[in-house]
Structure 1
Amino acid sequence: MNTVGALKRRPFATLTVDEKRAVVKLGPHKPVVTIQYQTKAGNVQNQKHNPTVNPMDNFLSAREWLTVDVEDKRLYCFPCLLFAKKRDTCWVETGFHRISYIGSSMEKHDQAREHRSAVIDLKLFLRRTNHFEVGSLISMNSDEIERHNNLVCRNREIVKRLINAVIYLAKQEMAFRGHDESETSVNRGPFKELLSMVAKTDSLLFDHLDSSTVFKGDSKTIQNEIIALIATMTRELIKEEVKSADFFAVIADETTDVSTTNQLTTILRYVHNGQLKERFLGFDNVSEVSGAEGLAGFILNILKEFDPESKLVAQTYDGASTMSGRTSGVQARIREVIKRAIFIHCMAHKLNLALQDATKAISKCVIFFATLSGINAFFGVSYKRTAQFHKSCHLHQTTELAGGKRKPQAASSATRWAYKSRTKVGLDLGWSSSTVEEAVTQLKHLEDNKFADIYDCKVDANPPETQLKFCKLLNSESFTNFSKKDKFPDGILADLENSVYGSLFNTAALKDQLGYLYNSNMPGKLSDLAKMLYECDLKNDLPQVYRLTNLALTVPLTLMWTTCVVRNKLTVSATTSGTVVEDFG
């Protein structure tokens, strides 16, 4: 370990603390070797170097720092070999072999600053490492070990409280910092004020905030680091869930925030452990990304870490031509790369369009919404009119408008649901109750199924792809019929086999497992079916059916043939993310 050859192969700086201590304790390696050298007359002679008997006037034995390499038969400086920062000298790099000049060379090396510094470092090394080496904890007495462990546990508990504070503010969508966070400020910002409030009932946190001088954990840098770490861990969790899922779909939309920054919202939809998940990945600035080609590349880059080539089965956007264009839209460009990533128009946007057309087709609804817009336009132009509006609301005990802070807002866009229920309630209790009641009645009891007809018309205008007909295989209302002899849906199964998803299934095995499903008492609701297959470990007995249910759940839509249209009633369920997740049965 202390030989020159060993220290060349593994430099001293790369050794562990315990290995370094062992090398220093062993000291210079001084074996008996024969060194070949050239005399001043040019003759080559051999000089045997023996650390105990030295015929060369004790030059070699007089230097404690001298060591010999048995491989190249040259002399080296042991302290410099270990600690010298300048390593291009012959005593460290190549070895000294000019024995004729050894006396003057050693004298010169003794006086070198680099050598003296290395000798001092060598002599102090053992003393220093007695205090700082990792293994020294073993030699501590029990009290020191206990104090160390208690300090570690205390610090961990403090960090837990800091993390909990960050999570709380993030979940409440609150700002972290304040305008004035100095010690004399009345309001030091949400994060610091939250820690102060918790510290009133938490003695551990109180002592830390009161006595800590090095690390309090309430600085903006620590806040940002904790936020970044939580985001990284959340994304890694999503990545692990998607990794275990059979498929996933992407849901994306662009929006402009208050700072006029164009942001892309990305959501992944997949089935994990038998349960449907929709996970928000984040906002990405796409202000400098132009055109469908740029957006498509940007989305594919986001999805790169989730293995989209083998798992992406659907993509959902709004109806904007940039996103949904059949030839050069984002969806078309992504399908050029991933064939089975079919495009599905967001069903929430379709419902929005249907509602707009429904209100236009009912005269009283048209009058109602025109009245709302007119009220806003009339009262908004004058503060005196606004004051009179607030006064009228107080007189009529309008609870929602009593604070004098609200009035009906006009729709800013044809694609926005700008009219809120609170506005309707306020006017109902004010002076427009009769008009609103009639409009609500019309919405609840649409004559001649007008709304249902309009909705069907909108869906027919953007029909689901024929690639999705396989979902009929999991329509629980047909299970009884499919279980009868000669009633098995072979045509639908053939459609699946010929679709872009055909390569994902073993058709023969799927048919056999579907036959068992149709004859069993399985849950009719698709989400319940997937959950039961997973929890009862039937996913191993019915793997093709489980895979099919996962695919049907992952695709973000409610198919038009499963939408329940009854006289004067249309059942449509939507998630908060804007895509329909209610399933069949």
Structure 2
Amino acid sequence: MDKFIIGKKRANVASVSDCEARPSVSGAVFLTKWKKTFMETGFSNWKKRVEKLNAHEALGYHREAVLKFKSLKSNVNVFSQISKEKLTQMKENRACLLKIISSLRYLAVQRVAIPGRTDETSNFDNLLRLRCEDNQLLLIWLQRETYKWTSHDVQNEILGILSHKLPRKLLEDIKSAEYLAIIADETTDMANKEQFSICIRFVDVSLEIEEYFLGLYSIQSNTAKALFDIIINILRRFDLPTSNCRGQCFDAQCFDGSANMAGLYKGVQANFMEMEKRSMFVHYLAHCLNLTLQDTVKAVPECRNALNVMKDLIHFVIDSPKRLDLFAHLEVDASANLKPLCPTSEVTSKCQDIDVDSSTLPRIRKVPKKYDDSINLSVETFTEVCDKYRRLYYETMDTSISFLESRFKTQPFMSVNQSEQFLLDIDKEHLLLHRSMFHEIIQSSDSANTSSLDDIVKYLQQENHLFDLQSELVKFMCVVLTIPVTSCTVERSFSCLRRVKTYLRSITRQDRLNIIALLNAHTDESMKLDLDAICDEFICKNDLRRSTFAIKN
């Protein structure tokens, strides 16, 4: 009350003299809206006098009236004072807008739902109200009746700017590399929609391997032509030339090898090879090993039956809460928990301190009489139990080796056949010369250990002066390291998809889903984005924003 100048007192009613003097300030027009309470009718709600007077002090028309009244007394140019006040107000508005943008970025990076059941219960509004406790300007901003810049359309626009800034930053690193590889895969989200994930693998100037996730794209058809068109459109959208592609790694969630991806004649990799012959196709090697074990188990009846029995026993226990509780009391190792058995998992049997009968030979069964005597049916017999399991072991190993060769036999031949295509980018004579020089350097160095490709890379990274001396060798190393062998980055994007698009958020639009997935997958890069540049881009959209917020750059 002391800091207010009471202009009138009548019938227990008060008004502020500076505000009441508004019409007499040289006929000046107020730039902000004003209310009649403190200017004409007077204030009489004395129970809330402190709260109302503090709120009135923070209002724009009160500050403008005080400024004009002081300027009138001191004979200072009113318009220059108004300009300074306007500029100060625009800077404060910009600070509030930065708080709004940073709050949206935080929710997206932490994959927290932005909207709520109502606007008042949304996580975005609750976060802003929480930040008001430490920021008086933001509290005043949210108390405005109009133009708070927190609507759903504004949120989508800010998130769109964030999603455009982040890929630009990622593409700067990708385009700095000479070669790149494509890693792609498809999956189904919670809404039973097909999502196609794209990642780019490249090697930077220090021979460090990087894999960047570029987004999720909804597909209507999973044919080879449709998937190929999507990949080409994405490369063109990000201005990535196919001539720099040296590797493809495709996988799928069903069908062994995914014919639409890995088809030899009409698959995605075949269409890509027609466009760029130097791009080597690599099927997900870990998946190949997984399929090999699965085929082996199916081909050997004894292994299949043993795993089926174990699988049924596990489900017999975990499907009943009573049996699971009983099993918990019988556990010896507290860290051992029953989990559903995967047919391709490695199973280790440990029978310790358990009274189990020793293995015996099965009973020899007679040949059924219904078969013709002309058919020679020989029944395999064993004299000892170890002979039976030895035969089973050899059968399992032979079957595994056979499937391993069928799954992996084409990889070495493919590498040898296409190595000539790689050398089209490299001077063969200089490569051989640099290779000989590198061998001499390694032999002269006592501490160098180059027993593997990883050792060579580490040595080149330590002796970075060799990058200029061994340019062709470094270029060849970049090509080799660019070729992908797994699709782990794409699989991690599927994990991100399951965290972002949950059952409670199953109706999320594709553009919002892609934005949040990008920001969440690249957390470190998202937190390093320049919010001032994002704020300037948002302000420059229309004239109203330019007159409300200050532009930094």
Partner Cα distance (1:399, 1:196) in 2: 49
Describe the SS at the equivalent of 1:540: helix
From 488, 501, 519, the counterpart of 2:422: 501
Describe the SS at the equivalent of 1:464: helix
Partner Cα distance (1:165, 1:552) in 2: 42
Partner Cα distance (2:434, 2:483) in 1: 21
Listed as ranges, the matches of 1:53-68 within 5 Å are none
Aligned pair count reads: 363
Listed as ranges, the matches of 1:45-60 within 5 Å are none
Q: Is 1:327 aligned to 2:265, yes or no?
A: yes
Find the counterpart in structure 1 of residue 294 from structure 2. Answer: 356
Q: CA deviation at 1:315?
A: 0.9
Partner amino acid, structure 2, of 1:548: F
In structure 2, relative to structure 1, the CA distance for the partners of 1:174 and 1:359 (3 Å cut) is farther
Report which of the two structures shows the higher radius of gyration computed on alpha carbons: 1
From 177, 195, 199, the counterpart of 1:267: 199
Q: Is 1:170 aligned to 2:108, yes or no?
A: yes
Listed as ranges, the matches of 1:487-498 within 5 Å are none
In structure 2, relative to structure 1, the CA distance for the partners of 1:299 and 1:214 (3 Å cut) is same
In structure 2, relative to structure 1, the CA distance for the partners of 1:273 and 1:367 (3 Å cut) is same
Q: CA deviation at 1:551?
A: 1.0
In structure 2, relative to structure 1, the CA distance for the partners of 1:152 and 1:468 (3 Å cut) is farther
In structure 2, relative to structure 1, the CA distance for the partners of 1:520 and 1:216 (3 Å cut) is farther
- Bigger shift: 153-162 or 301-310? 153-162
TM-score by length of 1: 0.52
Find the counterpart in structure 2 of residue 347 from structure 1. Answer: 285
Find the counterpart in structure 2 of residue 303 from structure 1. Answer: 235
Partner Cα distance (1:407, 1:181) in 2: 44
Higher relative contact order (CA 8 A, sep 6+): 2
Q: CA deviation at 1:244?
A: 1.2
In structure 2, relative to structure 1, the CA distance for the partners of 1:235 and 1:434 (3 Å cut) is farther
Partner Cα distance (2:395, 2:84) in 1: 77
- Bigger shift: 499-508 or 232-241? 232-241
Partner Cα distance (1:533, 1:236) in 2: 30
Q: CA deviation at 1:167?
A: 3.1
Deviations 1:506-537 (A, max 9, x none): 11122222223223356747567557757835
Gaps of at least 5 residues in structure 1 are 1-138, 183-187, 381-385, 436-446, 470-494, 559-573, 580-585
In structure 2, relative to structure 1, the CA distance for the partners of 1:359 and 1:160 (3 Å cut) is farther
Find the counterpart in structure 2 of residue 314 from structure 1. Answer: 247
Partner amino acid, structure 2, of 1:506: D
Listed as ranges, the matches of 1:164-243 within 5 Å are 164-182=102-120, 188-209=121-142, 211-243=143-175
Gaps of at least 5 residues in structure 2 are 1-76, 252-256, 356-392, 443-447, 493-553
Describe the SS at the equivalent of 2:421: coil
Q: Is 1:388 aligned to 2:322, yes or no?
A: yes
Partner Cα distance (1:449, 1:195) in 2: 67
> In the alignment, is the contact (CA less than 8 A) between 2:318 and 2:324 conserved in 1?
no
Partner amino acid, structure 1, of 2:230: F
Q: Percent identity?
A: 24
> In the alignment, is the contact (CA less than 8 A) between 1:372 and 1:408 conserved in 2?
no
Find the counterpart in structure 1 of residue 521 from structure 2. Answer: none
Partner Cα distance (2:276, 2:213) in 1: 22
Deviations 1:339-377 (A, max 9, x none): 112211111212322443576679689646643455436
Q: Is 1:514 aligned to 2:425, yes or no?
A: no
Partner amino acid, structure 1, of 2:201: R
In structure 2, relative to structure 1, the CA distance for the partners of 1:450 and 1:164 (3 Å cut) is farther
> In the alignment, is the contact (CA less than 8 A) between 2:195 and 2:217 conserved in 1?
yes
Describe the SS at the equivalent of 1:221: helix
Partner Cα distance (2:78, 2:129) in 1: 37
Q: CA deviation at 1:330?
A: 1.1
TM-score by length of 2: 0.54
> In the alignment, is the contact (CA less than 8 A) between 2:197 and 2:490 conserved in 1?
no
Q: CA deviation at 1:253?
A: 1.0
From 386, 407, 412, the counterpart of 1:461: 407
Listed as ranges, the matches of 1:90-169 within 5 Å are 147=85, 150-169=88-107
Question: Root-mean-square deviation (CA), in Å?
Answer: 4.6
In structure 2, relative to structure 1, the CA distance for the partners of 1:331 and 1:576 (3 Å cut) is closer
Deviations 1:273-296 (A, max 9, x none): 322111111111112x35212221
From 355, 376, 387, the counterpart of 2:315: 376
Partner Cα distance (2:165, 2:139) in 1: 28
Partner Cα distance (1:556, 1:203) in 2: 52
Q: CA deviation at 1:200?
A: 3.4
Describe the SS at the equivalent of 2:215: strand
Partner Cα distance (1:393, 1:161) in 2: 53
Partner Cα distance (1:231, 1:341) in 2: 29
Partner amino acid, structure 1, of 2:156: N
> In the alignment, is the contact (CA less than 8 A) between 2:201 and 2:482 conserved in 1?
yes
Partner amino acid, structure 2, of 1:310: S
> In the alignment, is the contact (CA less than 8 A) between 1:169 and 1:191 conserved in 2?
yes
In structure 2, relative to structure 1, the CA distance for the partners of 1:389 and 1:206 (3 Å cut) is farther
Find the counterpart in structure 2 of residue 61 from structure 1. Answer: none
